[in-house]
């Protein structure tokens, strides 16, 4: 797969569809590689748009640049000392904008999931000229009063990193049962965890990304200035970024639409793909 220089780092990326079609940029979440955007989901977006779909590895995950700096002290960051957070969500938004520049793309429809939703929001805030439309999925505003995980989901998030491929697959299965309470597919979860382990296993990267989230400010005031057509998608049974995060995001952006699924946790359940894709397409068409 190709790499592009962006914002002082290099990002691994992959494209689907015709480059002549409008670009849709997919931004993945905490510790997740771009392959977490299922190939079939990407293809559905290509056909439904039609879109030129781009997915990429955020910094510190997959095959993109691994940043340098101190190991994050998450307890200190939580207490207000952000000195060990070497970057923030805003920097990751600039990475994405730089990727579009490197590929000669003036504007794109931005779709982000979880931490990727936070990055997508920051792209719309910091780079409005590049944002044709915005879709924030299972994400939140950065306001610490909303979207907070329940205890079981927090335990899964903060578990020590796996030490082997088999353990990584076991961890994915165990956490998936918690995060995806309705549509969990253990076979697919284990298979994807194995693929991710083989492609690039770097637990410190997830810690750095988590530090970035914790060190970033509340985006609510700036989201009020977003003018791009905005869609918020959230599951009402999401245990990791709870539903109030989606509600707050939709409330923060003027004119935003909120699409809620009662059977969606912190996941993108395949049975809901047609509705999710259709909603993304409908939101993108508002940009025209």
- Burial annotation 210-248 (CB, 10 A radius, 16+ → b, else e): bbbbbbbebbbebbeebebbbbbbbbebbbbbbbbbbbb
Q: How confident is the model at residue 1, as a pLDDT?
A: 79
Q: Please name every residue paired with 53 in a beta bridge, in sequence order, or none if there are none.
A: 16, 24
Q: How confident is the model at residue 288, as a pLDDT?
A: 80
Query: Residue 229 in contact with residue 203, Cβ under 8 Å?
Result: no
| Assigned CATH topology for domain 3-151+202-285 | Rossmann fold (3.40.50)
Cα–Cα distances in Å, from 175 out to 68, 78, 180? 28, 23, 8
Q: How many CA atoms lie within 13 A of 51 on its CB side?
A: 30
Taking only the tens of pLDDT, the chain with its 288 residues reads 799 999 999 999 999 999 999 999 999 999 999 999 999 999 999 999 999 999 999 999 999 999 999 999 999 999 999 999 999 999 999 999 999 999 999 999 999 999 999 999 999 999 999 999 999 999 999 999 999 999 999 999 899 999 999 999 999 999 999 999 999 999 999 999 999 999 999 999 999 999 999 999 999 999 999 999 999 999 999 999 999 999 999 999 999 999 999 999 999 999 999 999 999 999 999 998
User: Burial of 251 by CB count in 10 Å (0-12 exposed, 13-18 middle, 19+ buried)?
Assistant: middle
Transcribe 210-230 into DSSP letters.
HHHHHHSPP-HHHHTT--S-E
Distance of alpha carbon 4 from the chain centroid: 19
Residue ranges covered by each domain of the chain: 3-151+202-285
Transcribe the chain into DSSP letters.
--EEEETTEEEEEEEES-TTSPEEEEE--TT--GGGS-HHHHHHHHHHTT-EEEEEPPTTSTTSPPP-SPPP-HHHHHTT--TT----HHHHHHHHHHHHHHTT-S-EEEEEETHHHHHHHHHHHH-GGGEEEEEEES---S-TTSSPPPHHHHHHHTSPPPSSHHHHHHHHHHHHHHH-TTT--HHHHHHHHHHHHHH---HHHHHHHHHHHHHSPP-HHHHTT--S-EEEEEETT-SSS-HHHHHHHHHHSTT-EEEEETT--SS--GGGHHHHHHHHHHHHHTT-
Q: How confident is the model at residue 223, as a pLDDT?
A: 98
Query: Residue 118 in contact with residue 241, Cβ under 8 Å?
Result: no
């Amino acid at each position: 797969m190709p790499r592009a220089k962006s914002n002082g780092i290099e990002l691994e990326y992959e494209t689907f569809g015709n480059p002549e079609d409008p670009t849709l940029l997919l931004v993945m979440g905490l510790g997740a590689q771009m392959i977490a955007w299922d190939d079939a989901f990407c293809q559905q977006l290509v056909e439904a748009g039609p879109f030129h779909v781009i997915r990429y590895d955020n910094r510190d995950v997959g095959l993109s640049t691994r940043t340098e700096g101190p190991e994050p002290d998450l307890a200190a960051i939580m207490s207000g000392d952000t000195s060990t957070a070497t970057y923030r969500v805003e920097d990751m938004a600039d990475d994405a904008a730089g990727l579009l520049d490197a590929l000669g793309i003036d504007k794109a429809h931005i779709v982000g999931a979880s931490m990727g939703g936070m990055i997508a929001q920051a792209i719309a805030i910091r780079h409005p000229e590049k944002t044709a439309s915005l879709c924030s999925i299972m994400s939140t505003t950065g306001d610490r009063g909303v979207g907070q995980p329940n205890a079981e989901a927090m335990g899964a998030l903060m578990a020590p990193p796996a030490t082997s491929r088999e353990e990584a697959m076991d961890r994915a299965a165990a956490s998936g049962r918690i995060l995806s309470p309705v549509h969990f597919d253990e076979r697919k979860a284990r298979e994807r965890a194995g693929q991710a382990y083989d492609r690039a296993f770097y637990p410190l990267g997830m810690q750095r990304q988590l530090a970035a989230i914790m060190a970033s400010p509340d985006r609510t005031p700036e989201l009020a200035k977003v003018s791009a057509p905005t869609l918020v998608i959230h599951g009402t049974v999401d245990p990791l970024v709870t539903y109030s995060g989606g509600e707050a995001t939709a409330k923060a952006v003027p004119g935003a639409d909120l699409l809620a699924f009662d059977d969606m946790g912190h996941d993108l359940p395949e049975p809901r793909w047609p509705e999710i894709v259709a909603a993304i397409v409908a939101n993108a068409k508002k940009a025209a």
